Structure 1
Amino acid sequence: MKKLKVLIVTYYWPPSAGGGVQRWLKLSSHLPEFGVEPIIFTPENPAFSLKDDTLMREVADNLEVWKFPIWEPLKYFGKDGQPRQGQVLEKKKKGFLDTFLIWARATFFIPDPRVFWVRPSVRFLAPMIKSNNIDLIITTGPPHSMHLIGMKLQKKTGVKWVADFRDPWSQWDILDKLGVKGWARKRHSFLEQKVIKNCDLLITVSNAWAADFSRLGATKTFVLTNGYDEHAMESEKPTVPGGKFRLAHIGMLNEMRNPLVLWEVLSELCVENREFATSLEIYLAGILSDQVIASIEAFPELKGKLAVDGYLSHGSARRAMKTSTVQLLVMNDSGNAKGHIPGKFFEYLEAKRPILAIGDSAGDVAKIIEDTGAGACLGFNDKVGVRRALEKQFADFKADQPFAPKHFDKYARRSLAMKLSNRLFEIFIDNKR
């Protein structure tokens, strides 16, 4: 059987950290088992703000990685060459430089500040694709500039191209946060239309987002969720230090994801239930907004119950999940939240600890939680539902009730790689007919 040679264009690659790197780092290690030989193309000198050197150990030994220099304008606005867009957006009081940075990002860098990597990458890759007999190109975004690379390479080489959307584009809530309007907004929509109508397959991470892209004009969509590594947490013991009722959130928690109703309910339960107050610990690890911390500390009953860590390596994050009592999952409170499934959600499933999700109670996460029996998903304003869920989870904690989610094997990354490889071979075979 012929091996399918696939070029994967991704901005995020180890030692870059965060959710964006995990998807293709993991899939690339499993794809060869199913007849797909991946080659990674990634920047040689990216200006990412999170770094995790331990992820280098998870890159498959025989994986070929091509690197090419990138010029990134936003590094000149950051600290020590690292972009600070997220921190700038969070600030209540913005100075002249902050305001200029947001305006420049929204007005000139379309679809994103990595757009300057498109042309040189195409010039570099076009002859490499031919000399290396590449059968298929996959681009993954954001940053959505990666899709422009794929589109130009498809036109130049005739090779089939798959666009993988880990987030929306024109409907992405970050554009609203940046204040993208008028001509700039139309430009985003124009480029998005070119991508979704020219790619040979559009992949995205949830059913709701696949439906959104179909409404925008995509004719060939394929849902490939994120996933988890099988057996990755088997050696971790699910014991919470000190016997605490630990609510743990791992990852970014910013103003757009601040579950105010949760802090309010926790405060009320502490007042009403002395045992709950004595047991409670709120553990937050990752990139945290000052506004989130302030909103928690605004409740006197919660002061002293908050434990904060910075960014955790991937291994440490897994241990933190496993040693939680309840895993907090907070999604964006925005118009496209229905299809938002954070990558860490699937690792939460593998950790086999109860989940309390705050987001769209009719969205894709809620449906998976219901299907697997992994916990509860409540709306941002569902105070009664959040309270009821916490009371049950605390009662189960005191009674030492066993917990075992079900039916989530299909989200193992090996299973996802097999599903993807089957679809890629279909595209290749169709191209040969």
Structure 2
Amino acid sequence: MKKPVLIIAYYWPPAGGPGVQRWLKFATYLRQHNFDVTVVIPDNPDYPIIDQSLIDQVPEDIKYIKVPINEPSRWASSLSRKRTKKMQKGILPKSPGFLQKLMIWVRGNLFVPDARVGWKSSVLKAIHPYLLENIKPTIITTGPPHSVHLIGLDLKKKYIGFKWLADFRDPWTTIGYHKHLKIGNSAQKKHEKLEQEVLDNADLIIVTSPHTGKEFASKSKTPIQVITNGFDIQSNATTRQPDGDFTLSHVGTLLSDRNPNVLWETLSDLCKEDNSFKSDLQLQLAGNVSDEVLLSIQHYGLEKNLKQLGYLSHHEAVEVMFTSQCLLLIEINSEDTKAIIPGKIFEYFASSRPIIAIGPENADIDNLIQHTRSGQFFNYLEKQQLKKYITEKYKLYKKGNNEGQLNDHIFSYKRENLTKTLAKTIDYTWE
């Protein structure tokens, strides 16, 4: 008899972004491990990013419970659709106007833990029949939005006979963008109280990075399992250098706080020192890019080397990865971001193209890159080391030898292999 699993997730195709793919793939592969999977998703969501290509990856026979949601972003969009979409994507202006300041304050203080908190009551009502029909189900909530975890918390207070796994794709109260939401003391205390209740009442906590695991272990005695994100694409068939310019590509959102001036300055210096490098260099940015980042690139005289690709479908983004000379991975230079492991890093691994990563010292992404031997990590003070590495890659490129890396360490991050760990984790909670 198959074991019932109920996955409650706000983000689901056609929503775009790497966070969608985590549970889309887990839901797909769990069925190969004797699990009967049902997914709870919003019926009418207002997703900030749409990627229709992901719909083709959803199994035709997957079971759904679709629950209507009243999205505050639709009300806010009546005031300013463009500004609301930017805020949903995480692009917060450095100098917001009055209306933007008001929207940010409302988001941070009136919607705790987030603007989807109103969905909870509807989901609890909609899944009641499922709980009556299924014996010993495993319920998995995944956040952000962390309000989804409050559904699991309420279920723990009202029902018995099930196991609850809370999956944290990002930290909660220590996530970097909290400081930009102008959260008051009362709202902050509520965040911390809710986080503590979720950590203490879940049967098991799943996190995507070791740093988050250590943080939660210091707060709660609930068992914790680290299951990173991964990749499900066909890995690059070759590690050889692709044709074309010396292309450095960043795939994904590039916010103002993630603006790597040390990189732009390094590339500018190399262009000034070597006309050949300047002629060969192409800087590609795929995804949403803040105005501050574009102004910095212009300030360092790199605008003629820049190619803005805009938001790409998943298939198009993978093509960019496969055909780039090096891939850029940029994280905010903050203590809060050491735990962040961007989902795209795993598809970077699968692309077999060298990674140039910049982030805070002792970041988890540094360990991952070392483990997979897939590139080099630099903190924001290591300009000379960064310059030396890019120069080395450029010299290899000129010789046609800028090769990538594929190995067993990389393949351990295939979604299918990670699902085996998840299946064992679910079984563990019932022992």
Q: Please give the TM-score of this superposition, normalised by the length of structure 2.
A: 0.94
Alignment check: 8 A CA contact 2:5 2:140 kept: yes
Name the structure 2 match of 1:195. Answer: 198
SS of aligned partner of 2:220: coil
**Deviation sequence 1:277-318 (CA, Å, 0-9, x none):** 111000001011011111101122x12100001111111110
Counterpart-to-counterpart distance in 2, 1:22 and 1:134:
27
Name the structure 2 match of 1:391. Answer: 391
CA RMSD of aligned residues (A): 1.9
The one-letter amino acid paired with 2:297 is I
SS of aligned partner of 1:248: strand
Counterpart-to-counterpart distance in 2, 1:89 and 1:15:
21
The one-letter amino acid paired with 1:270 is C
Counterpart-to-counterpart distance in 2, 1:40 and 1:331:
31
Deviation at 1:89, TM superposition (A): 5.3
SS of aligned partner of 1:71: coil
Residue correspondence of structure 1 range 9-408 to structure 2 within 5 A:
9-78=8-77, 79=80, 83-86=85-88, 90-133=92-135, 135-158=137-160, 159-229=162-232, 231=234, 233-234=236-237, 239-240=242-243, 243-300=244-301, 302-401=302-401, 402-406=403-407, 407-408=409-410
Q: Please give the TM-score of this superposition, normalised by the length of structure 1.
A: 0.94
Aligned in 2, Cα 1:237/1:11: closer, same or farther, shift over 3 Å? Answer: farther
Alignment check: 8 A CA contact 1:130 1:157 kept: no
Counterpart-to-counterpart distance in 2, 1:234 and 1:63:
31
Q: Any gaps of 5 or more consecutive residues in structure 2?
A: none
Counterpart-to-counterpart distance in 2, 1:353 and 1:324:
7
Question: Percent identity between the aligned chains?
Answer: 37
Alignment check: 8 A CA contact 1:9 1:137 kept: yes
The one-letter amino acid paired with 1:43 is P
Alignment check: 8 A CA contact 2:241 2:400 kept: no
Bigger shift: residues 369-378 or 71-80: 71-80
SS of aligned partner of 2:127: helix
Bigger shift: residues 151-160 or 12-21: 151-160
Alignment check: 8 A CA contact 1:72 1:113 kept: yes
Aligned in 2, Cα 1:209/1:256: closer, same or farther, shift over 3 Å? Answer: same
Counterpart-to-counterpart distance in 1, 2:141 and 2:358:
31
Deviation at 1:73, TM superposition (A): 1.3
The one-letter amino acid paired with 1:414 is E
Counterpart-to-counterpart distance in 2, 1:87 and 1:33:
34
Counterpart-to-counterpart distance in 1, 2:104 and 2:309:
28
SS of aligned partner of 1:115: coil
Deviation at 1:91, TM superposition (A): 2.1
Counterpart-to-counterpart distance in 2, 1:86 and 1:426:
36
SS of aligned partner of 1:91: coil
Alignment check: 8 A CA contact 1:126 1:153 kept: no
Alignment check: 8 A CA contact 1:7 1:134 kept: no
Alignment check: 8 A CA contact 2:164 2:204 kept: yes
Counterpart-to-counterpart distance in 2, 1:234 and 1:66:
39
Bigger shift: residues 114-123 or 72-81: 72-81
Counterpart-to-counterpart distance in 2, 1:425 and 1:88:
36
Counterpart-to-counterpart distance in 2, 1:254 and 1:308:
14
Alignment check: 8 A CA contact 1:202 1:218 kept: no
**Deviation sequence 1:73-127 (CA, Å, 0-9, x none):** 1222125596442578532432221111011011110000000011121122123
Aligned in 2, Cα 1:48/1:87: closer, same or farther, shift over 3 Å? Answer: closer
Deviation at 1:425, TM superposition (A): 1.0
Alignment check: 8 A CA contact 2:175 2:337 kept: no
Aligned in 2, Cα 1:275/1:287: closer, same or farther, shift over 3 Å? Answer: same
Deviation at 1:234, TM superposition (A): 4.0
Deviation at 1:362, TM superposition (A): 2.0
Name the structure 2 match of 1:417. Answer: 419
Q: Any gaps of 5 or more consecutive residues in structure 1?
A: none
Deviation at 1:174, TM superposition (A): 1.2
